[in-house]
Structure 1
Amino acid sequence: MAQSEPAHGIAMYGDPALPPDFVSLPYANPEAPKGGRVVTGNVGGFDSLNPFILRGTPPWELAHLTHETLMGRSWDEAFTLYGLLAESVETGPDRKWVEFTLRPEARFSDGTPVTVEDVIWSYRELGTRGHPRYRGFWEKVATIEQTGPRSLRLTFNEVDRELALLAGLRPVLQKAQWEGRDITEAGIADIPIGTGPYMVESYEINRSVVLHRNPDYWGRDLPFRRGTGNFDEIRIEFYGDDTVLKEAFKGGLISYVREFNAEAWATQYDFPAVQRGEIVLSEIPHRRPSGMTGFVMNTRRAPLDDWRVREALITAFNFEYINDTLTGGRQPRITSYFSNSELGMDHGPATGRVRELLEPFADTLLPGTLEGYALPVGDGTARNRVNLRRAMDLLNEAGWSVQEGRLVNASGTALRLNVLLQQDGLIGQASAMMDIYARALERLGIVLDVEMTDKAQYAEREAQYDFDLTLMRRSLSLSPGNEQLFYWGSAGADQPGSRNLMGMKSAAAEAMIAYMLQARNREEFIAATRALDRVLTAGRYVIPIHQYSVGRIAHRAELKYPEDRLPIYGDGIGFLPEVWWHKAKD
């Protein structure tokens, strides 16, 4: 949308795929019945029902179910928004500003109208006092002002085409609820009033939260909402670990589970309820980037600040053997941060526009960035001799040698590393991988200590970067943008609690992100993203493990989804339970 006039939607590049008179989102079933309940399981606990402030730990799903934004995202397009609380959006060709007009029928769950004052207060309050995730955007807002009875305009203080879309994705809270109160000190009983399809009905700290569908939900007839929010009740149960959660599912206590281990999916889901047809095994493909899942190395600590040591550690990680042992070889490996999509780098030499973007930084780029980089491939055996010899050569180049069975540097200090892990759904795989990896590193004279901590201890140590290696997961979209600076930007490298776990500082990476944010067309954007992918991958910051190119959901047979109209993002945030429904048994 380049012209300056109100429109029903806005796309990062080009025009929205859906016309103004669309009937429903393409992956929703507008005829889906309403009713029934779904019970989901989370690992861990909660002590807050306010997902908008830093204090406390709320259920991760809560904000998506109870609160809404001015615009809603279609998960069948790379990055396109359609009107939700807002009936229209307007912006200029340079996107230095964006204006929204609210729907007159938009209401909070208590029946009061959503006003421009609520929106402006929400943006300012969350941008200055809310969770840190909201503050980066607010720092780029020069002004926010009311322009009409139902309209407001945001003007930005820097050139960034994504800001006009991000402005439509801030949660809207009710100003009157917090009049004279400090939202940052909200307790468990101070549940924010939202505009979404669901409301909190009851809760028991660290055990369960029950949501019910608001029978007076204001947006139930919107095309954007048709076929969504179909369950009358959503119950979130909390379990101490993933094993207990899976047993609860087998016992019929929860409605569905996601399985991340392809070997377990193939061998452990033949229990009686599956054989009787009471449980259905569904696979949901997607076309989004692989993202990065793996063991990130903390470059703030020597010797992990040396790329040769990091490359040696990557080379010694016997993925082919580990993959065969733990998943039967069923899960492919991540090959770069944006692999599995058009945004992923080519593994040969950089060419064309990608090379042009990177060449000004040639003196700072690590080997392989321009020439081409690919992960080391093992021979599939347990000993992996060739790769271990290559790893030792790299360590020798970096000044390390084996003395009396220990790998030491010139001062005689032995190389001993720790990997920090917390309890979650991947912990079994991660700890098993580290057991195999530790034996390989032992052959190089390196000691690897595996430290298991509870959620609270892990959060504190991760925030202070108190680890050598830890498991990292970064989901990436088909339209990466400002969040890339939070993941890889130097501003967070020395800031406690940032998402930049590896501590990378790369002028090249930040320049590529700037190109991405300023790109005027999809082709230029793809080139900049592929260039960023090269900088990240050749940086050797992470030991990549499996990619999850298909979602695996085991669910009760009465839970249905639109199998013939899956979104390109697959099993993402806007899929389950948003577009699923309950079908009563015949």
Structure 2
Amino acid sequence: MLREILVNAGVSIALLGGLLANAEAPASPSTTIHKANSIAMHGEPKYPKDFQHFDYTTTGAPKGGTLVLGVQGTFDSLNSFIAKGVSADGLELIYDSLTEASADEPFTRYGLIAEQMIWPEDRSWIEFVLRDEAKFHDGSPITADDVEFTFDTLIAKGSPTFKTMFEDVASVEAKGPHRIRFTMKNTENQELILILGSMSILSKQYWHDRDFSKTTLEAPLGSGPYTVAEVESGKTIHYRRNPDYWGKDLPVNRGRYNFDLIEYDYYRDATVLLEALKAGEYDFRYERISKQWATGYDSDALRSGKLVMKNIKHEIPQGIQAFILNTRNPLFKDIRVRKALNYAFDFEWTNANLFYNAYTRADSYYSNSEFAAHGMPSEAELALLNPLKDQLPGSVFVEPFELPTSKGDGRNRQALRKAKQLFSEAGWTIKNNVLTNSKGKTFTFEFLMFDPSMERVINPFIRALKRLGVQASIRKVEISQYINRLRNHNFDVVVSRIPQSLSPGLEQIQYFHSSTSDQKSGNNLAGIANPAIDALIENVVQAKSREELVVSTKALDRALLHNWYVIPQWYIDSHRVAYWNKFGQPDITPKYDATFSETLNTWWYDPKKSAQPAKQ
């Protein structure tokens, strides 16, 4: 599910409208038609029709105060839907979607703009019945025309991701001012009706005389809990809570969005960013770097208890963080070369010497989840893999996938010998201390990066590669250039994370499918174009039950792993957060909040806490 990933995203139905919904359904009399305010990918939703709030919220949470967040980088646009510019953080706060996800279920959507959803058992279409009271910030109603306009605009002018995501939609039709139907080309993509509900809805009237394809610093019109209050390009953006927000009392929103003002302040330098937290310049930090977590937070504020550090366990699939090899580069076409590079990376030494043994090695594209393929394939997996036997590495069928390991003492000779052997088998030999092929081409490539924190990981890797005759170097660029180079596939190797959800599906096409291998601004960074992978992705997308989904995803995981497209790095199964002790928090933390953003939206400012806010 592309959550986190890239999308943030009735009139109450009259008696006659309810009858028409059945009359217009393109299904046989025996087909079950569902009508509900929620829909789950598999099984039934956790919360009943008349639920009052999510379990991880506090309905009596007070409103008020300011939350200041620090961000590394810059921005030059408030249009987060297009593949141009660098959009500001937090823009999802100004938009509402048709439905809202819960953070304590694998993949369930509850009505937000949509009061009700109507769909047949086979999910060949879905109708969203919009609420009478749903309004944009200017007071204009949200209508079916706005939803249709949003869909058409995202397909025609939005990021290419939207076109891929929604390619199985056959038609969109407004059935009235507050009812809209999406009809599918087929019934294979079972999650599509849920994903459609996650679209952030745009105002047709607002955009009719504006160019959606261009970047802008004009505050867009939304309908969500916040509005843009202040913008200074590349430096700061402020969002103000809308006291007249139409959806503030809905069950999906109770206990959420409690801060009057949310500020994002931008910093160019990672070191300055951390020091600014300790100085009280901003309030909350999600830590991703283990060395900083172990050594970087020592301060008077921490010792006094004004600054809090906390590890919060979660049950979220971690996907895979890795060195992504751009297989569009002829250097990385040969699977033996990709495998050799894996043998040159010493994770155990890196973890012990750089990360205080804080991490677990990522040995799956679906780490920390039931979808990870460990051991030998099951009979159910083999039923999917065997028809593709001629297109998959033979190792898929005869051995478990295993990454090379070391003792962590820096003496990784055995692995380097194996790497040298693999390079030799691929036609690369050392001449004058440089790895060279029969055509005289040397094995030379760059690690592209913008965050200097990864240099301490990459430099030892470069030294190991040099022992093999590989000439590797670091190319550090500013973030906007980095983004543009990724969009245009102008890189050799990057460090990136491929996130995964609790219900893998359509986003697998974006990550791994041949159709996205040459897509500009896409997420298939490795440039994977493999018909066997394509077929296995189809099984994932078409899974009709949780059991089928697990089997299909494990089979896909095996195929990806045994092709050695990436050099896996590591993951951690907890959130590492640091914050100034001035917030109230619910008793329950949602276990499936991948980015911690949903959790933070349930916190509130508590003036009785010991740490007074710097910008209150």
Name the TM-score, length of structure 2 as normaliser: 0.91
Show the 5 A alignment for 1:132-147. 132-147=160-175
Shift of 1:571: 4.9
SS in 2 for 1:185: coil
Does residue 43 of structure 1 match 2:60? no
Matched with 2:261 is 233
SS in 1 for 2:331: coil
> Following the alignment from structure 2 to structure 1, what is the Cα–Cα distance between the partners of residues 211 and 235?
27
Show the 5 A alignment for 1:79-228. 79-159=107-187, 160-185=189-214, 187-189=216-218, 191-228=219-256
Matched with 2:58 is 29
Does residue 457 of structure 1 match 2:486? no
Contact 2:361/2:571 (CA < 8 Å) preserved in 1? yes
Matched with 1:53 is 82
Does residue 370 of structure 1 match 2:419? no
> Following the alignment from structure 1 to structure 2, what is the Cα–Cα distance between the partners of residues 122 and 182?
14
> Following the alignment from structure 1 to structure 2, what is the Cα–Cα distance between the partners of residues 308 and 263?
33
Shift of 1:445: 1.4
1:210-233 residue CA offsets vs partner (Å, 9 max, x unmatched): 111001011111110011001010
> Following the alignment from structure 1 to structure 2, what is the Cα–Cα distance between the partners of residues 144 and 253?
47
Q: Residue 352 of structure 1: which of 375, 379, 384 is its match?
A: 379
Contact 1:76/1:567 (CA < 8 Å) preserved in 2? yes
Shift of 1:459: 2.1
Contact 1:345/1:530 (CA < 8 Å) preserved in 2? yes
Q: Residue 556 of structure 1: which of 548, 573, 580 is its match?
A: 580
Q: Residue 598 of structure 2: which of 563, 575, 582 is its match?
A: 575
> Following the alignment from structure 1 to structure 2, what is the Cα–Cα distance between the partners of residues 300 and 252?
45
- Structure 1 unaligned runs (5+)? none
Paired amino acid for 1:339? S
Contact 1:284/1:570 (CA < 8 Å) preserved in 2? no
SS in 1 for 2:397: coil
Q: Residue 345 of structure 2: which of 309, 317, 324 is its match?
A: 317
Shift of 1:302: 2.4
1:350-395 residue CA offsets vs partner (Å, 9 max, x unmatched): 1221111111111111243223211111121213111111111111
> Following the alignment from structure 1 to structure 2, what is the Cα–Cα distance between the partners of residues 500 and 295?
13
Paired amino acid for 2:352? D
Matched with 2:466 is 442
> Following the alignment from structure 1 to structure 2, what is the Cα–Cα distance between the partners of residues 284 and 344?
22
Contact 2:89/2:264 (CA < 8 Å) preserved in 1? no
SS in 2 for 1:10: strand
> Following the alignment from structure 2 to structure 1, what is the Cα–Cα distance between the partners of residues 319 and 584?
28
Paired amino acid for 2:437? N
Matched with 2:526 is 502
Runs of 4+ in 1 over 6 A off after TM superposition: none
SS in 2 for 1:457: helix
Contact 1:551/1:570 (CA < 8 Å) preserved in 2? no
Shift of 1:553: 0.7
Q: Residue 321 of structure 2: which of 268, 293, 309 is its match?
A: 293
> Following the alignment from structure 2 to structure 1, what is the Cα–Cα distance between the partners of residues 421 and 459?
23
Paired amino acid for 2:388? F
Matched with 1:270 is 298
Comparing 37-46 with 180-189, greater Cα deviation is found at 180-189
Matched with 1:490 is 514
1:512-540 residue CA offsets vs partner (Å, 9 max, x unmatched): 22112211111011100111111111111
Paired amino acid for 2:574? V
Paired amino acid for 1:13? H
Matched with 1:17 is 46
Alignment CA distance shift 1:574-1:438 (3 Å): closer
Paired amino acid for 1:471? V
> Following the alignment from structure 2 to structure 1, what is the Cα–Cα distance between the partners of residues 361 and 226?
38
Contact 1:492/1:498 (CA < 8 Å) preserved in 2? yes
Alignment CA distance shift 1:232-1:469 (3 Å): same
Contact 1:121/1:175 (CA < 8 Å) preserved in 2? yes
RMSD: 1.6
SS in 1 for 2:403: coil
> Following the alignment from structure 2 to structure 1, what is the Cα–Cα distance between the partners of residues 565 and 212?
38
1:379-430 residue CA offsets vs partner (Å, 9 max, x unmatched): 212131111111111112112222332222223332222211123xxx31x2
Contact 1:284/1:552 (CA < 8 Å) preserved in 2? yes
> Following the alignment from structure 1 to structure 2, what is the Cα–Cα distance between the partners of residues 360 and 60?
45
Comparing 548-557 with 403-412, greater Cα deviation is found at 403-412
Q: Residue 556 of structure 2: which of 529, 532, 538 is its match?
A: 532
Name the TM-score, length of structure 1 as normaliser: 0.95
> Following the alignment from structure 1 to structure 2, what is the Cα–Cα distance between the partners of residues 285 and 380?
27
> Following the alignment from structure 1 to structure 2, what is the Cα–Cα distance between the partners of residues 460 and 54?
9
> Following the alignment from structure 2 to structure 1, what is the Cα–Cα distance between the partners of residues 394 and 473?
30
Paired amino acid for 2:78? L
Shift of 1:156: 1.0
Q: Residue 379 of structure 1: which of 379, 392, 407 is its match?
A: 407
Matched with 1:544 is 568
Contact 2:315/2:368 (CA < 8 Å) preserved in 1? yes
SS in 1 for 2:74: coil
Contact 1:124/1:138 (CA < 8 Å) preserved in 2? no
